[in-house]
Amino acid sequence: MEDLQPVFERAEERAREYLFSRVPKRKVREFGVSIDAVEEKGGFSIDVEVSLQLSPSLRSVNVEELVDELVEKVFKVIDEEFSKQKGEVAGGGAEKA
């Protein structure tokens, strides 16, 4: 499970980048991403929690919708990373010339 940590860190960073592309950094009061992996028979499950508190002056931003988008972004990055790793394993890790 330790080998998942870099993947989770990249996913969190991409979520942070997405958030700040949508909302000015100074308007974000609190932001946190928690990603947990639980081993299960035949694999594992991943739980993602995003906490977000914006400045009250951002009334036009739907926080629930933005949190949903951030969670989707995290899962997308994790899926991309796993697909990339699968490709490396299936391809023997050989680089294309």
Q: How many CB atoms lie within 10 A of CB 11?
A: 24
Residue with tokens 């972004």: 73
Answer yes or no: is 43 within a domain.
yes
Q: Name the pTM for this structure.
A: 0.82
Helix (H) or strand (E) holding 33: strand 28-40
Answer yes or no: is 15 within a domain.
yes
pLDDT at site 89: 52
Alpha-carbon distances of 47 from 10, 28, 75, 90, 91, rounded to whole Å? 16, 23, 9, 27, 29
pLDDT at site 3: 80
pLDDT tens, residue order, the chain (97 aa): 558 899 999 999 999 999 999 999 999 999 999 999 988 888 889 999 999 999 999 989 999 999 999 999 999 999 998 888 777 655 444 443 3
Rounded Cα distance between 19 and 83, Å, is 24
52: CATH: 3.30.300.100
Residue span of the structural domain in which 51 resides:
2-90
